[in-house]
Structure formats: structure tokens, C-alpha cells
């Protein structure tokens, strides 16, 4: 079964640009998109998502609340945070103990960093799948 990546970003231009880049770089992945955390959770429930790339500050439901909701459903999902706001330590501190960031990338996005984070997440997903702890 192909790996599914979900991109959640409220800025329409950023969402479209990242979608094009990711489809070209990772053509073998299933890609789905949502424009805020609430829609991200809804889409997650419809699709078997393995990796989520998300903004932090979004209307209706932010990235942190979305991640907490998704981790409650499927804890092994890999998350890549992309944000222009708080630093990693500030973000981890603000959401409390036990909140784990898999990857954190500051805007403007450096594609080398993004691709490295995706590649590491793919390796983790494939290892979990191989060990029988991945796909539901």
C-alpha cells in the first residue's frame, strides 16, 4: 500500500506551491491537502495518512490541536511542523510535557531540510510497517 502524506496549510499559495513540489519530488506517495487543522482531522479519518506536514497557526484549529487529535487516533503518525512563529523549544514548551515534535522547519522553507525530514519520516514509517506496528 502506498504511503500517504497530508499537507495542512492555511495559506493558499504556500499550499499550492508545496503540493506541486511534493508531487514532483515524491510522485510515488499519495498526497492529500487540507486548509486548516479541523479539515485535516476530518481528512485524516477518511484516509490512512502516514506523514503530516502542517503549519502551526491556522484558523478553526491550529496545528498543535490537530496533531493531538490525530495522535489520539494513530500515535505512530509522523509530523513535520512548518512555522514562521515560535522556535522548536518554545513550541514544545507551550504545548506541554509529552508532546513530541518529529520534525520542525522554520519558514521560509528550505527544501533540503523539508526533503530530509520527509525522507527520515518515510524511513520511520517503512520500519514500523516492516515491524508490524505501522498501518492500521
Of the two residues 24 and 59, the one the predictor is more confident about is 24
What is the domain range of residue 41?
A: 4-130
Can you give the pLDDT at residue 93? 54
pLDDT band at 64 (very low <50, low <70, confident <90, very high): confident
Of the two residues 17 and 107, the one the predictor is more confident about is 17
> In 3D, which of 130, 29, 120 has the Cα closest to residue 78?
120
Average pLDDT of span 81-95: 64
Instruction: Tally the domains of the chain.
Output: 1
Asked if residue 16 belongs to a domain, the reply is yes
Asked if residue 135 belongs to a domain, the reply is no
pLDDT over 60 at 136, yes or no: no
pLDDT band at 62 (very low <50, low <70, confident <90, very high): confident
Domain CATH code at residue 52? 3.40.50.2300
Can you give the pLDDT at residue 51? 97
Average pLDDT of span 90-95: 56
Asked if residue 79 belongs to a domain, the reply is yes
Q: What is the reported pTM?
A: 0.88
Asked if residue 89 belongs to a domain, the reply is yes
Asked if residue 136 belongs to a domain, the reply is no
What residue ranges in the chain does DSSP mark as E strands? 4-8, 30-34, 51-55, 78-83, 103-106
Asked if residue 72 belongs to a domain, the reply is yes
Asked if residue 87 belongs to a domain, the reply is yes
Q: What Å distances lie between residue 21 and 25, 34, 46, 55, 122, CA to CA?
A: 6, 16, 24, 17, 17
> What's the whole-number average pLDDT of the chain?
87
Asked if residue 95 belongs to a domain, the reply is yes
Of the two residues 34 and 94, the one the predictor is more confident about is 34
Amino acid at each position: 500500500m502506498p504511503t500517504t502524506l497530508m499537507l495542512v496549510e492555511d495559506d493558499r499559495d504556500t499550499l499550492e506551491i508545496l503540493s506541486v513540489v511534493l508531487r514532483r519530488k515524491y510522485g510515488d506517495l499519495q498526497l492529500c491537502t487540507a486548509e486548516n487543522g479541523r479539515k485535516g482531522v476530518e481528512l485524516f479519518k477518511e484516509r490512512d495518512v502516514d506523514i503530516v506536514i502542517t503549519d502551526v497557526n491556522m484558523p478553526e484549529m491550529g496545528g498543535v490541536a490537530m496533531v493531538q487529535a490525530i495522535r489520539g487516533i494513530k500515535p505512530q503518525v509522523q509530523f513535520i511542523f512548518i512555522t514562521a512563529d515560535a522556535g522548536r523549544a518554545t513550541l514544545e514548551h507551550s504545548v506541554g510535557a509529552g508532546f513530541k515534535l518529529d520534525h520542525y522547519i522554520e519558514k521560509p522553507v528550505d527544501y533540503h531540510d523539508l526533503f530530509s525530514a520527509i525522507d527520515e519520516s518515510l524511513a520511520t514509517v517503512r520500519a514500523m510497517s516492516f515491524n508490524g506496528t505501522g498501518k492500521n
